[in-house]
Amino acid sequence: MSRYTRSLCSPDRQMLCASDGEKHEPVWFYKISSSEDGIMHLTDILVQEKLHFVRLRKMIYFDNAATTLRKPQAVINAVCQAMRSLGNCGRGAHEDALAASRIVYSARSAVSELFQCGNPRNVVFTANSTEALNTAILGMFEKGDHIISTDMEHNSVLRPLYYLQRMGVDVDFIPADMLGNIQYDDIPAYIRPETRAIICTHASNLTGNLVDVGHIGGLARAHGLLFIVDASQTAGIIPINMKRMNIDVLCFTGHKSLMGPQGTGGMCLAEGVKIRPLKRGGTGVQTYLKEQPEQMPTHLEAGTLNSHGIAGLEAAIRYIQQTSLEKIYAHEHMLMNRFYEGMRQIPEIRIYGDFRAERAPIVAINIGDIPSGEVSDILNERYDIATRPGAHCAPRMHQALGTVEQGAVRFSFGYDNTAEEVDAAVKAVKAITVEYLRK
């Protein structure tokens, strides 16, 4: 720190806060100007101090299930470096194009390794989970087919399925109970000769309840069904092994628990799985062919890839692997349990979901009958705590929980959150409860 000069905090000199990834203790820095060009070189500071996350505003962010706000500095560095140096992946053999092609291929390898896909060429990059899920759901079925899904799904699964229903595909949804769980024993009764696939989330984005995808995958394999999994809430914190779990198509997003940039995501296909392309267009290969090339991953990747974002995604996966999923899971679950225990002490609080088993780090609550949007706005405006109220794009889950009218306030925890932040949120919820319900 000696080579930097600290300046006083003023409107034009924003205060910076960086948290140490190891201890999760917030460490505060003032905006620093270098002696030579007057420009702050934050990267230098981070490298010197070995800090993992940077905070540009002192607030409490508990909306990590929507997107992780703070990315590891390694991710930011990788995107910046990529934006300075990459040409277009697959478009030419000059060094800049090859640099992009190499990074994209390296990212495919990282994704394949993380999910035990078995072949980097079966990793397809998309803009997000929604695009991956649409590609899979709209590209594998015909009129007369039957699909089994669940009440726990996000609209990124539900809306493509509802569209298929209008096209003559039959869809059944395994109902969720009041705890937000599905009953696995119910599934076999839904399987019939026309059934082609089971499509389900790995964890509810509303309750955080986990689905035993290993169990369902075994069931799907035993009945010769395709198994498509939405890993939007689990990729990067819960281990996923496509082979062991018998997953045929795994869809993921890069910007949530994987801690990568928005605009990244993808799908991993088991060997031999065929999907019709959702998009057709330039690929840099087989130019004179009128159809989309049949070979993977080009078959499902028309148009310029987001190489800059993918470079960040690769850095994010490497960061997670270096840190270890177990360590990330343990920290986020410590925070989740701390918040859950805090909520249990307040009689007016209703908590949704099942906390008896392994789960995604989410706690959804309501305070009495106060509308969820109102609670979330108070938390934001008065306490600078970011949460997500309302319906969370999960209509069937809210119907199952009986929260269609009120919605729910979702607290979702990330790797850079701290126990002190959780305690502040518990205190804030208590204060709101006292003010609105006990006076």
Chain contacts with other proteins (rule: CB under 8 A): 89-93, 98, 101-102, 104-105, 108-109, 119-121, 283-288, 293, 295-298
Structure tokens at 99: 């640099």
Residue 383 near residue 423 (C-beta atoms within 8 A): no
**Residue 242 Cβ, how far from other proteins at the closest point, in Å?**
17
Nearest by Cα to 49 from 80, 17, 79: 17
User: Could you give the angle at which helices 325-344 and 307-323 cross, rounded to 10 degrees?
Assistant: 80
**Residue placing its CB nearer to other proteins in the complex, 124 or 336:** 124
**Residue placing its CB nearer to other proteins in the complex, 188 or 282:** 282
**Residue 98 Cβ, how far from other proteins at the closest point, in Å?**
6
**Residue placing its CB nearer to other proteins in the complex, 101 or 232:** 101
**Residue 293 Cβ, how far from other proteins at the closest point, in Å?**
6
C-alpha 378, offset from chain centre: 26
**Residue placing its CB nearer to other proteins in the complex, 123 or 152:** 123
The number of C-alpha atoms within 13 Å of 372 and in the hemisphere containing its C-beta is: 22
Q: Where would I find the beta strands (DSSP E) of 52-154?
A: 53-55, 60-61, 123-126, 146-150
Structure tokens at 411: 């607290």
**Residue 368 Cβ, how far from other proteins at the closest point, in Å?**
55
Residue 202 near residue 214 (C-beta atoms within 8 A): no
Rg, Å, the chain Cα set = 23
C-alpha 119, offset from chain centre: 22
- Give me the amino acid identity at 189: A
Is the previous residue joined to 297 through a cis bond, with omega within 30 degrees of 0? yes
**Residue placing its CB nearer to other proteins in the complex, 104 or 397:** 104
**Residue 108 Cβ, how far from other proteins at the closest point, in Å?**
7
Q: How far is 275 from 321, CA to CA, in rounded Å? A: 30
**Residue 185 Cβ, how far from other proteins at the closest point, in Å?**
39
Q: How far is 274 from 411, CA to CA, in rounded Å? A: 38
Nearest by Cα to 202 from 214, 186, 188, 218: 214
C-alpha 246, offset from chain centre: 21
**Residue 297 Cβ, how far from other proteins at the closest point, in Å?**
6
Nearest by Cα to 146 from 166, 176, 172: 172
**Residue 172 Cβ, how far from other proteins at the closest point, in Å?**
37
**Residue placing its CB nearer to other proteins in the complex, 120 or 309:** 120
**Residue 206 Cβ, how far from other proteins at the closest point, in Å?**
36
**Residue placing its CB nearer to other proteins in the complex, 313 or 363:** 313
**Residue placing its CB nearer to other proteins in the complex, 120 or 361:** 120
Nearest by Cα to 334 from 356, 361, 315: 361
**Residue placing its CB nearer to other proteins in the complex, 53 or 105:** 105
